[in-house]
Amino acid sequence: MDWNKTKTIFIIVFAILNVFLYSLYVNRYTEVKRIDVQGETKIEERLKMDGITYPKLPEIETASFASGEVWVFDPKEVKDAKGQTLRLTDDRGTIVGVPKEPVSIKGEDGKLDFGGLLDKYVKNGSDYKLWKADEKKREAVFFQTIDSLPFYFNQSSTLTVHWNEALEVTDYQQRMMDEIVLFNQEKDLFPPIQAINALYSRGYLKTDSTITKVEMGYSPLVQLTKTQVFAPTWHIHVKLNDGTSEDFFVNAVDGKVLDKLPEQIIEEDG
Amino acid sequence: MRFSVLASGSTGNSIYIENDEHAFLVDAGLSTRKLEKLLGEVGRDMKALDGIFVTHEHSDHIRGLGVTARKYGVPIYANEKTWKAMDGLVGNVPAEQRFVFDMETVKTFGSFDVQSFAVSHDAADPMFYIFHENGRKLVLITDTGYVSDRMKGWIREADAYVFESNHDVSMLQMGRYPWNIKRRILSDVGHVSNEDAAVAMSEVVSEKETRIYLSHLSKDNNMKDLARLSVSQTLETCGIRVGEYVHLFDTDAEQPTELVPV
Ligand SMILES: [Zn+2]
Ligand SMILES: [Zn+2]
């Protein structure tokens, strides 16, 4: 056998093999890179492609956790009530008020206006912010706020108002928190666009829906013996194509999508 | 005696204890440069150290140990199993600086009595220390999954505690740690929660002035304000009025507590 010839053949075969392997490698490499690039498509663009729009996002970068204690109403306050009759529940945690004179909630252009009730009848009424008014059920739900940020679906700080056909308040039920403090340590927040992304990537946002509101508030986190602790929370309100709307909540510190808040479930069951 | 918690938390732990004759560290879980800086902030110098007592071989307790030992020639104390476990983690510590501090024994340094006791933690042979001087008692206890009756016996009626208050249980359960880490933290050999720490505290404090430093707080599953609220409310439900004779203090991952007498 001609050893020289054999050697040449070997060299040529290996050279071809090398070229082949190299081309395989290059292909793989660019493929991987392409996938990477696709993965990096900005959330903004992906939302656009799915027809999901959102408003100008809040520019809050840090926030504190908050804590509060359940307010226990004073029976004396109930007895001395003017212009309304008040009743306390056994645990003194809920007050039920019935105005003696009609209090109208009829606002301009057919809108509801609860200003009169909140100002004159409800204790610390200006701290409550309207969450939802259901005109069919004739019921409105308000959440207590701190620095105008609401405590979402926190049972111990909601106000519920009912009215009659003439748009006059029939009664209201109030629970209140007291000793609300913000924790000293400010935490860096999960940016609102990332909160939207968290919803999007879990399939919560349907195509062609419109995010109409992104707001900051608080959601219940921990219940201590006396005190409740709240986490900064993004509230994202979404209008769907069919006219219905949905509300989502994302923990603004760790980006976790909150399952339905406990009271929200209760409300739906009830 | 006087002490300062130089740094506390999963990023690094070190506690400085001194009297007029001696100066010690318990653990050196930060880089030597950081330790120098922190000690400088309470007006003290690494050169004056007479020894470092090691609790266990986790990196948040020994990160700066090797370098500090070599740079300053400080004697290092740890039990046999911890020495073995630290092998390869701290580099070479010269033989004349290696000392064995057995579990549940007392070593005397002048007027200081230093006592070691076992905790329940996932390390080779974890132990913490109690410093006694002139009838005053300082207890250091972090990195334990729970506080057993045996531990409670050792740590009873101290004048000051550096007490673990690692996490809030519900925050941990809701948080985004993987399940295996959550399980480790909540296990008997992990870390002690705010409430469990408070219940243990309520069983060991006496009716004298007691300072409690809440320590080794989890960065993700706790907050200073939350730990303080939680511990003080649990203590109060156990009949201890916080602020009267029991006083709670924060510790920080990057800032030393004031150097105060015990
Ligand atoms: Zn450890
Ligand atoms: Zn540790």
Ligand 1 centroid, distance to B187 Cα (angstroms): 13
Of the two residues A264 and B194, the one the predictor is more confident about is B194
Give the CATH number of domain B2-261; options: 3.30.830.10, 3.60.15.10, 3.40.50.300, 1.10.260.40: 3.60.15.10
Q: Which of B168, B176, B220 lies nearest to residue A222, judging by beta carbons?
A: B168
Grouping H, G, I as helix, E, B as strand and the rest as coil, residue B31 is coil
The CA distance from B36 to B31, in Å, is: 9
pLDDT computed for residue A40 by the predictor: 54
Domain residue spans in chain B? 2-261
- For the stretch A89-130, pLDDT in tens is 988 999 999 999 999 999 988 899 999 999 999 999 999 999
Interface of A with B in 174-203 (CB under 8 A): 183-185
The low-confidence residues of chain A, meaning pLDDT below 70, are: 1, 26-40, 260-270
B236 touches chain A (CB under 8 A): yes
Query: Would you state the structure tokens that stand for residue A68, as one six-digit string?
Result: 């509060």
Identify the weakest region by mean pLDDT among A16-20, A260-264, B55-59, B123-127: A260-264
Q: Which of B220, B223, B230 lies nearest to residue A224, judging by beta carbons?
A: B230
Write out chain B residues lying below 8 Å of A183, CB-based.
223-226
For residues B183-198, average pLDDT: 86
| Ramachandran angles phi, psi of B150, nearest 5° | -60, -45
Kind plus residue range of the DSSP H or E element containing A191: none
Domain residue spans in chain A? 3-65+183-269, 70-179
Query: How would you classify residue A243: left for phi > 0, otherwise alpha for psi between -120 and 50, otherwise beta?
Result: left
Rounded to two decimals, the pTM is 0.80
Of the two residues A111 and B183, the one the predictor is more confident about is A111
Diameter over CA atoms, chain A: 119
Query: Would you state the structure tokens that stand for residue A20, as one six-digit string?
Result: 């082949």
Q: By percentage, how much of chain B surpasses pLDDT 90? A: 87
pLDDT computed for residue B228 by the predictor: 94
Contact at 8 Å (CB) between B62 and B86?
A: yes
For the domain made up of A70-179, give the CATH fold.
TATA-Binding Protein (3.30.310)
For the domain made up of A3-65+183-269, give the CATH fold.
Lipocalin (2.40.128)
Per DSSP (E only), the strands in chain A are 62-70, 84-88, 95-99, 128-134, 139-146, 149-150, 158-163, 169-174, 177-188, 210-223, 227-239, 245-251
Grouping H, G, I as helix, E, B as strand and the rest as coil, residue B91 is coil
For residues B142-170, average pLDDT: 94
β-pairing verdict for B2-7 and B14-18: antiparallel
Q: Does B171 contact A185 at a Cβ distance shorter than 8 Å?
A: no
If pLDDT is split at 50, 70 and 90, which confidence band does B104 have? very high
What mean pLDDT value characterizes chain B? 94
Q: Which residues of B165-190 are buried (b: 16+ CB within 10 A; e: fewer)?
A: bbbbbbbbebbebeeeebeebbeebb
Reported ipTM: 0.73
**What is the length of chain A?**
270
- For the stretch A196-233, pLDDT in tens is 999 999 999 999 999 999 999 999 888 888 889 999 99
